[in-house]
């Protein structure tokens, strides 16, 4: 079966759209080779400069020349927009990593508190006799009594012969949920400005690649997409850790309720499906692509349309 390039080489007149498709096939093959995705079987799609000049010289119709220019502009768009999509992908990774770091540190604090909370309350005989009736948490934990002559005084006992309860180190306490609330604005910006914006732009570009592939009848055009699957998996894993975090909050009563409120407020579950272009915007762009002239003027605008949030 003849390739598209072989067909137009033998044609007496050259179609601007067919030659444009040859240029795109050429770019696809070169890109696949660069990424180690090709077995070099696509050599028949490679156009050298001499062939290209000769084929262009056979285009005499202004309308066909304009169609070729559309594909030349498409080539230019892909080079620029793919680099931007990679940058947005890395931006989203950055936002995800920062969110995960803050949440993990707060989770470590609560985990340590939970461990301490489940240990028996250590106290001296004097302390036990002088303390008020134990609360519900104290009853649950139980007591471990030590002698007033505990040998590691003064590090473990106060002057009143009370045992000094273990504490979490000061750095961890800085990252506790109570202090995280004061950093809500910054943490939320990681989610909205870095992760969400990066994901929307990355996925909008990918969807445009899919729609262009559909429009020009060339599925391999999707090779220019920027994969976001690993990032989506990472976000879903972070959501699972966030759900597990809810079961690790230490304390009881108002203290527990307040920390759970902060967790739900600052570290919201992230709906990755909401980052994909909505069906309405996809259909709008598909209709705009009916006119191939849009390749020359408005491809960046199509990414903007696809990146817009759909109706809630």
Separation between Cα atoms, residue 190 and residue 188, nearest integer Å: 5
Buried-state track 141-165, b at ≥16 Cβ within 10 A, e below 16: beeeebeeeeeeeeebbeeebbbee
pLDDT per position as a tens digit, 106-160: 998 888 887 777 777 777 777 777 777 666 656 666 767 666 665 555 567 777 7
Q: Cα(197)–Cα(66) distance, rounded to whole angstroms?
A: 35
Q: What pLDDT score does 250 carry?
A: 87
Task: Please name the helix (run of DSSP H) or strand (run of DSSP E) that holds residue 145, with its range, or none.
Answer: strand 143-146
The DSSP secondary-structure symbol of 183 reads G
List of residues 6+ apart from 93 with CB closer than 8 A: 198, 231, 234
Pair 274, 257: CB distance under 8 Å: no
How far is Cα 281 from Cα 301, in angstroms, rounded to an integer? 12
Among 203, 196, 190, smallest CA distance to 270 is for: 196
Per-residue pLDDT of the chain (312 residues; tens, 9 = 90+): 457 777 777 777 788 888 899 899 989 989 998 888 876 655 666 778 888 888 888 887 899 899 999 999 999 999 999 999 999 999 999 999 999 999 999 998 888 887 777 777 777 777 777 777 666 656 666 767 666 665 555 567 777 777 766 665 544 567 889 889 899 999 999 999 999 999 999 999 999 999 999 999 999 999 999 999 999 999 999 999 999 999 889 888 899 999 999 999 999 999 999 999 999 999 999 999 999 999 988 899 999 999 998 765
Q: How far is CA 103 from the centre of its chain?
A: 16
pLDDT at 263: 95
The pLDDT of residue 183? 92
């Amino acid at each position: 079966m003849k390739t598209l390039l072989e067909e137009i080489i033998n044609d007496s007149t050259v179609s601007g759209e067919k030659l444009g498709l040859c240029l795109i096939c050429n770019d696809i093959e070169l890109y696949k080779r660069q990424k180690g995705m090709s077995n070099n079987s696509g050599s028949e799609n490679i156009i050298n400069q001499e062939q290209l000049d000769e084929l262009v010289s056979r285009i005499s119709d202004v309308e066909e020349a304009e169609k070729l220019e559309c594909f030349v502009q498409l080539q230019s768009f892909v080079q620029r927009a793919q680099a931007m999509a990679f940058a947005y992908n890395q931006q989203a990774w950055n936002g995800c990593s920062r969110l995960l770091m803050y949440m993990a540190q707060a989770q470590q604090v609560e985990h340590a508190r939970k461990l301490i909370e489940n240990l028996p309350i250590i106290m001296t005989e004097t302390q036990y006799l002088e303390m008020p009736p134990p609360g519900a948490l104290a009853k649950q934990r139980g007591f471990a009594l030590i002698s007033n002559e505990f040998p590691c005084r003064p590090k473990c006992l106060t002057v009143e012969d009370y045992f000094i309860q273990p504490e979490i180190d000061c750095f961890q306490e800085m990252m506790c949920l109570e202090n995280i609330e004061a950093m809500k604005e910054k943490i939320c910006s990681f989610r909205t400005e870095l992760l969400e914006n990066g994901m929307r732009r990355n996925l909008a570009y990918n969807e445009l690649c899919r729609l262009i592939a559909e429009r020009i009848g060339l599925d391999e055009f999707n090779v220019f997409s920027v994969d976001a699957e690993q990032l989506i998996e990472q976000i879903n894993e972070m959501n699972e850790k966030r759900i597990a975090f809810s079961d690790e909050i230490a304390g009881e009563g108002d203290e527990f309720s307040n920390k759970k409120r902060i967790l739900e407020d600052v570290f919201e579950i992230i709906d990755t499906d909401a980052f994909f272009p909505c069906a309405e915007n996809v259909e709008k762009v598909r209709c705009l692509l009916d006119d191939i002239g849009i390749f020359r003027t408005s491809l960046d605008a199509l990414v903007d349309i696809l990146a817009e949030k759909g109706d809630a």
